[in-house]
Each structure stands twice: as C-alpha cells, then as structure tokens.
Amino acid sequence: MRKFKLQVQTTVDGYMAGPNGEMDWLTFPWTDDINAYIDALTEPVDCMVLGRKLAEGFIPAWAAGPEGEDQASIDKMNNTPKVVISNTLTESPWENAVVAGGDLAETVNELKAQPGGDMITYGGGTLVSSLIAEGLLDELHLFVNPIAIGAGMPVFANTVAYQQLRLVTARPFDCGITALHFEPKRS
C-alpha cells in the first residue's frame, strides 16, 4: 500500500497560516540542506492530494514557474498528477488534476490502494486537519519555522481525541527551520 505523507510549514505555536490565511511569517530563503531534504522526501511521490482552496492558488502558481525555484522542482510540481478533494467542484479546471469528493476516508483509502509511489499533501488547512483527525496519514513532516504568531489556522484543528505520534527524526537546517518527522502510533 502507498504511503500518504503530509508536508507542511508551521510556526512553533502550531499554525500553518495566520488568522486571514497570511503566510508572511515563512522563513526565507531556503538553504541547500533543506532543499536536499525536500528532494529526498518527494522523490518517491507520484500523486499530490490537495484541498480545493489550496489548489486554486497552488496549481496556477507552479504552472507559472515561480521565480527563484529551480526547473526540476517546477517540473516535479507540474508533472505529478494531482487529486483535488472537493465537495463543490464536479470537474477539474486544471491540467493533470482530477476532482474527488464524497467521504474523505473512503476516497483516501481508495487512492492508497492503487498501485504507485507515495502520495503527499500540502494542505489546505481544512483538508490537513481532517486527514489528521481521521488518522489517514502515514507520515507527518512538519517544517517548523522559528516564529510564533499567536493565532491562525492550526495544523491540528479538528483533533477531537488524542493523536499519539512517534518522532522519527528531528532535523534543523541552516535557514532556521527544523523538520519534525512523525508517524502516527497505531493500535
């Protein structure tokens, strides 16, 4: 079965965006060590799972070839097939993306049962917190930026019960970000 990974940037106080979706707190520029880590994390990925709101900005931004990104990263982001989780869209307005709705657990488990490499999600916030709450992720990669913002969109917003995690690795990078790799403890 395919692994389903979360890769998300967060603040030290657990927010993935500010109260109005702001992401101006992100630490830049990334250094070679974090870029190499991300390359290794995403190398086995052949499917991205995105929430609709994130997809609306994410897919067009990568299609435009963001300034400062290397061509290999741009190609990986554009060429990797995407599944957009949405109960409002019926078809995809984007190239190389399909829309899936309905029951989240059923959709994710069907995707995980398909042959292929790993799957990854970057968000958005509603999708991430729902995936965590329903125990659908196999790995959580939290890229903790050295800043606290006090309020915003929490990574663990929909958690209604304890979510026990096992720390696999903690890796600080020269840019100040620390990657925390967790796996859920399953009974």
Domain regions of the chain by residue span: 4-175
Ramachandran class of 60: left when φ > 0, alpha when ψ lies in -120 to 50, beta otherwise = alpha
Give the relative orientation of helices 104-113 and 125-133 as an angle to the nearest 10 degrees: 80
Q: Each residue of 125-135: pLDDT tens digit?
A: 889 989 998 99
Which of 3.40.430.10, 1.10.3720.10, 3.30.420.40, 3.90.580.10 is the CATH number of 4-175?
Answer: 3.40.430.10
pLDDT (mean) for 172-184: 96
Mean pLDDT of the chain: 92
Q: Each residue of 106-132: pLDDT tens digit?
A: 999 999 999 999 999 997 888 998 999
- Decide: 147 and 11 in contact? Cβ < 8 Å: yes
What lies within 8 Å, CB to CB, of 144 at 6+ separation is 10, 11, 12, 177, 178, 179, 180
pTM across the whole model: 0.93
Parallel/antiparallel/unpaired status of strands 4-11 and 118-123: parallel
